[in-house]
Homo-oligomer: A and B are copies of this chain.
Amino acid sequence: MAADRQTRRVVQVCEAAGRFIEYWGFKAIHGRVWTLVALRAVPLSQTEIAQTLGVSRSLISGAVAELVDYGLLRPVGTHRNAPYEAVMDFWPTIADVLRTREWMLLEGARVALEGAIDEAEYAQVTGEPVLFDVERMKLLLALTEVGQSLLRILIGMRMPRGGERFATWLKNASGLVGKLRRLV
């Protein structure tokens, strides 16, 4: 049946999206669920999602709750079993993840580096043996700071307001990449 063929193709897309997003700190199931709901023309119930993706309802239950929490899925209607639709402008969520997780990682490295540099320079003045390369530590420190600058820029990127946000944002991003090519 033609509908089956369409569904099979889209499930393949969902799985590709899941694999992709798995690298970016989310779970694969998040990518699969969001993609399916985003691409399906009508709002979907959890049972439909589970059947289409071929996984258990319990797995979907948790994943949907988390996606709603992230602001990437939204129930359409108020009653208990309201079906879900996808929120298309996912940039705020990405930015949030960048802010919390990646920032913490960089900040942790930066603080540790500063501590190590202080310790080594203290040894330098007191004439004790310096075991580590202070120059390189300072280079790595500068690297974390460049990373944090870059993160700040990405976090600050605003989604355009108004109707078809995602399409507009995509056009923006595309133009930006073009300019970037000329810079490099």
Show the binding face of A for B, using Cβ within 8 Å.
2-3, 5-7, 9-10, 12-13, 15-17, 19-20, 23, 25, 35, 38-41, 88, 101-102, 105-106, 108-109, 111-113, 115-116, 119-120, 123, 126, 128-133, 136-137, 139-140, 142-143, 146, 149-150, 153, 156-157, 166-167, 170, 173-174, 176-181, 183-184
Using known A-B contacts A39-B133, A108-B16, A116-B13, determine if residue A153 contacts B177 with beta carbons closer than 8 Å: yes
B20 touches A123 (CB 8 A): no
Give CA–CA (A133, B167) in the complex, Å: 14
Q: Would you call A102 and B40 a contact (CB within 8 A)?
A: no
A106 CB contacts on chain B under 8 angstroms: 20
Q: Which residue of B lies closest to A24 (CB)?
A: B23
Minimum distance in angstroms from A3 CB to a CB of chain B: 6
Chain B residues whose CB sits within 8 angstroms of the CB of A20 once the complex forms: 105-106, 108-109
CB distance from A124 to the nearest CB of B (A): 10
In the complex, the 10 A-B pairs of residues with the closest C-beta atoms, listed nearest first = A9-B116, A16-B109, A13-B112, A2-B128, A16-B112, A12-B112, A20-B105, A16-B108, A9-B119, A39-B132
